[in-house]
Amino acid sequence: MRRLFLSQLILIMLFITGCKRYDTSGIKDNGEWVSIYDAPITSNYILHDDSVYGICFENIDSINWYTFWSEPPRVPIDNVDIETLYINTYDSKYNYAKDAKYVYCPTSYWYSDTEVALPYSKWFDGDIRIPGADPKTFKYLGDGYAVDKNGMYSCGEKIEWNDSIIAHYANFQ
């Protein structure tokens, strides 16, 4: 019985020490987070019929919205809580968004492969959650870099923590 208790205690301690947490309270959030209801179409996240879609537009003025939503059928982004969804509009090149449960950022895109000129160049759909990212402590630094209590990210991918990146964006404008 004692061995079982000790082995369980060792496993718990290994788990706790393996889950490194970072203090991000003193790090400036350079993101400009707006509700999906207020996000401009250029934010690359679009609310339509109670679903959120990810589309990078190139020529918004040429859109025939009826055709756009019907051909080909669009696929919404998975798992989004629309009521708490905020989009980082500071930099639409790096498509970060967050809601009460998840942080989102596409790491791959579908590209238009057609001879017809389309008003968009790429789109993203499906599950674009960043595994393990914490929306409550998530902060955008700049140029695709972000941090939260669980780590550092570059363009939606987790990377090794680097204090010089944080220092570089401390006074970012």
For 38-54, how does the pLDDT look when each residue is reduced to its tens digit (9 = 90+)? 999 888 899 998 999 98
| CB 95, CB 33: distance < 8 Å | no
pLDDT the model gives residue 30: 95
Domain boundaries defined on the chain: 21-168
Q: Which of 84, 133, 76 is nearest to 104 (CA)?
A: 133
Residue pair 166/141 in contact (Cβ under 8 Å)? The answer is yes
Among candidate residues 136, 154, 126, the one with its CA nearest the CA of residue 98: 136
pLDDT tens by residue, the chain, 173 residues = 555 544 454 444 434 444 578 888 899 999 999 999 999 988 889 999 899 998 877 767 777 777 777 766 778 999 999 999 999 999 877 889 999 999 999 887 766 555 555 556 678 888 999 999 999 999 999 999 999 999 999 999 999 999 999 999 987 65
C-alpha to C-alpha distance for 27 and 139, rounded to whole angstroms = 8
Q: For residue 122, give both structure tokens.
A: 């790429």
Decide if 36 contacts 45 (C-beta within 8 A).
Answer: yes
Bridge partner list, 97: 87, 104
pTM: 0.79
